[in-house]
Amino acid sequence: MTKVRTLAALIMTPLAIAAILLLPTPWLVALTAVVFLAGLWEWFRLAEIDDTLSRTVLLLVNLLLMVALVWASRSSSGGSLVLFQLATVVGVIWWLLAAMWLKHYAFASDHDTHARMFKLAAGTLAVVPAWCALALIHAAQPNGHRWLLVALVIVWVADSGAYFVGRRFGKHKLSPRISPNKTVEGLLGGLVAGIAVGVLGGMFAGADTGQLPLVAAVALLTVGASVIGDLYESLLKRHVGVKDSGNVIPGHGGILDRIDGVLAALPVFALGKAWLGF
């Protein structure tokens, strides 16, 4: 399984990097909309929407919301990204609420209509703001494409760092009821790895020396958000008793399993970058 997982990563990672660095923003936004909506389709499964027609209608509603955001942002002068910025802020607020949800494991776990409604709303609040944040980061000048790559690499490296440090040194469980394999030591390892990559990536993206401490601070918050996103998806899977959100990617499970941390990290990175001005 490890070989299959590694091979899949070796194929997907260069393709993702090439798309981020080479595609113009509208094309990348369209491509990631497909990926994020595919993850949302799996989210509906975790929310126990089993009927294909119902899931299709819900997916179309979210697609129309994305289209509406793009359409409303257009103008004769070239357009405005204000709605995307507002959606990004909403995303950050949602993940703060999600962090509180993690403390109440049983909330919305009773498989009834009300639980589904909470989880369906959570899916939209996770996916659409993350998609808006991705567009904001990539469209920013200068070097928005590089900054988006930095944001994603922070999440990827932090996840790997947490995995290897946790396996080697992990003794204290981070959240045993939600994700028994995650440890405090792994979290610290991921934070260190993410901050280090964030600083190096900041130099690659054009940050000057005085901005690097700000980049490090945003990288820290980004890693923290990615952990919340990962834990929240684990919570959803625990509620319905499944190991993976799907089986689309060999060795990696579903698409949502690969982007759960990214969904939470992108709004935080985008807001931090805009607020601190690097």
Average pLDDT by stretches of 10, the chain with 278 residues: 61 89 96 96 92 95 97 78 96 96 87 85 97 97 96 96 91 91 95 97 95 97 97 93 75 82 98 94
**Would you tell me how many other CB atoms lie within 10 Å of the CB of residue 127?**
23
Q: Is the dihedral of CA 115, 37, 219, 231 positive or negative?
A: positive
Structure tokens at 253: 């499970």
Structure confidence at residue 151 (pLDDT): 98
- Contact call for residues 5 and 252 (beta carbons, < 8 A): yes
C-alpha 61/C-alpha 66 separation (Å) is 9
- Contact call for residues 84 and 132 (beta carbons, < 8 A): yes
C-alpha 259/C-alpha 155 separation (Å) is 10
The CA distances from residue 184 to 167, 176, 187, 230, 263, in Å, are: 11, 11, 5, 14, 22
Q: Identify the CA nearest to 98 among candidates 187, 221, 231.
A: 231
The CA distances from residue 17 to 12, 21, 145, 148, 272, in Å, are: 9, 6, 10, 10, 22
3-class SS at 171? Answer: coil
Residues 6+ apart with CB under 8 A from 164: 189
- Contact call for residues 228 and 122 (beta carbons, < 8 A): no
